[in-house]
Amino acid sequence: MPSLTVIVQLGLVFAVFVLLMLSSAVMVYAERKIAAFIQQREGPNRVGPAGLLQPFADVIKLMFKEELRPGGADAVLFLMAPIISATAAFAAFAVVPFGAETTFFGLLDQPIKLQVADVNVAVLVVFAITSMSVYGIVLAGWSSNSKYSLLGGLRSASQMISYELPYGLALASVLVLANSLSLTDIVNRQDGYWFGFIPRWFVFVQPVGFLIYMIAGVAETNRAPFDFPEAEQELVAGYHTEYSSMAFAMFFLAEYINMVTVSAVATDLFLGGWHGPFLPASLGWIWFLIKISALLFFYIWMRWTLPRYRYDQLMQFGWKILLPLAVLNLLATAAGVMLLGA
């Protein structure tokens, strides 16, 4: 019955949307709790049991705040910027597979993929949408008509463009190994074990690539220690200085969803996606969730451990260390694949 498959597919799209929204709520809570733990504080503990309802209280507070627009701001672009940010963040996740094909315990005739859209150039689509998200930040910075916002936006634009190159080259080295552009294919290439116990994850063949991808991913999502666009001490709040209420919430949402997407793509590319021991293939998404959570924890851990770089250090690092390293890694990978025959 194809109609049931269509309904399930639509349900999947909706579920992914809701889960992404929820994931950002979970991230808000986790971030505050982990930060508190690292700084030997209690963290949120008033709203709900152990402060679990804190993110919802935050959302309600933001909704009831006044929507401010600075005089001289460009009305249309000021409104569009957070929408572009949030849309790009959601759209990138559409091509990311997060589980093996499943029939939902025999509910469906033919198995469907746990993925919103299966595109055969999925890796490039993720890269393309990530490169679009820079517009939200640049436009926010420009349209606010404030020098802090403008500086934040300009910094962010140059940072994101600079780190897109090593990011793309790290992706390319995995593509050379996997011999495919489809994320599903890449994940399935990582099934099985070497010598019976080392999982065939690309992170073991591509440690440098994984490192470059994660560093560039942190810079792409504007997280500490690369959070220059919003460096509080110099730029107030960077590109979203002038935003309040729901528009601000959308930037916030976009930042967390971008983190989830970068972690999900890293899991698919380097950490074997939903493949893991002990669990049947139909429950592979649990492994996927565990791997993503580990990467997200790493993100938060890094934010509260490392001090912010200086801006010129960031650019130097990106262009003079990370980019040559990524090129060398790609060359070495290509040579290895040619000599050893994948």
Partner 1 sequence: MGLELSFFYVFAAIAVVASALVIGQRRPVYSVMLLIASFAALAGLYILLDSPFVAVIQIIIYAGAILVLFLFVVMLLNAPTEAGPWERLAAGPRRSGIVLGAVLAVELGWALWHVPMTREPVGAGASGQTIESVRTIGQVLYTDYAFAFEVTSLLILVAMVGAVVLAKRHV
Say how far apart CA 249 and CA 173 lie, in whole Å. Answer: 36
Q: Which residue lies nearer to partner 1 by CB, 21 or 181?
A: 181
CB of 31 to partner 1, least distance (A): 29
Q: Which residue lies nearer to partner 1 by CB, 27 or 219?
A: 219
Q: Could you say whether residue 279 binds partner 1 (CB under 8 A)? A: no
The CA–CA distances, whole Å, from 230 to 96, 148, 234 equal 28, 9, 8
Q: Could you say whether residue 161 binds partner 1 (CB under 8 A)? A: yes
Residue with tokens 């890094």: 302
Adjacent-strand bridge partners of 194: 198
Q: Which residue lies nearer to partner 1 by CB, 30 or 95?
A: 95
Choose which of 22, 111, 120, 194 interacts with partner 1 (CB under 8 A): 120
Per CB under 8 A, the segment of 2-10, 136-144, 250-258, 327-335 that binds partner 1 is 136-144
Q: Could you say whether residue 112 binds partner 1 (CB under 8 A)? A: no
CB of 185 to partner 1, least distance (A): 12
Choose which of 53, 154, 211, 334 interacts with partner 1 (CB under 8 A): 154
Say how far apart CA 20 and CA 16 lie, in whole Å. Answer: 6
How many angstroms separate the first and last alpha carbons of the chain? 41
CB of 247 to partner 1, least distance (A): 18
**Lookup: tokens for 335:** 């040579």
Judge contact between 283 and 274, C-beta under 8 A: no
In angstroms and rounded to an integer, the radius of gyration of the C-alpha atoms of the chain is 21
Binding mask 15-54 toward partner 1 (x if CB under 8 A, else -) reads ----------------------------------------
Contacts of 34 (CB under 8 A, 6+ apart): 297, 300, 301, 304
The CA–CA distances, whole Å, from 41 to 32, 61, 232, 299 equal 10, 23, 22, 19
Q: Could you say whether residue 125 binds partner 1 (CB under 8 A)? A: yes
CB of 215 to partner 1, least distance (A): 20
Say how far apart CA 296 and CA 96 lie, in whole Å. Answer: 16
Q: How many residues bind partner 1 (CB under 8 A)?
A: 28
Q: Could you say whether residue 153 binds partner 1 (CB under 8 A)? A: yes
Q: Which residue lies nearer to partner 1 by CB, 181 or 246?
A: 181
Length of the chain measured in residues: 342
Per CB under 8 A, the segment of 58-66, 114-122, 235-243, 293-301 that binds partner 1 is 114-122
Say how far apart CA 163 and CA 314 lie, in whole Å. Answer: 10
Adjacent-strand bridge partners of 102: 112
Question: Directed axis angle between helix 245-270 and helix 284-303, to 10°?
Answer: 120
Site for partner 1 in 73-92 (CB under 8 A): 74, 76-77, 80
Q: How many CB atoms lie within 10 A of CB 28?
A: 19
CB of 161 to partner 1, least distance (A): 6
Q: Could you say whether residue 139 binds partner 1 (CB under 8 A)? A: yes
Which residues of the shown chain bind partner 1 in the complex (CB under 8 A)? 74, 76-77, 80, 119-121, 124-125, 127-129, 131-132, 134-135, 138-139, 141-142, 150, 153-154, 157-158, 161, 164, 181
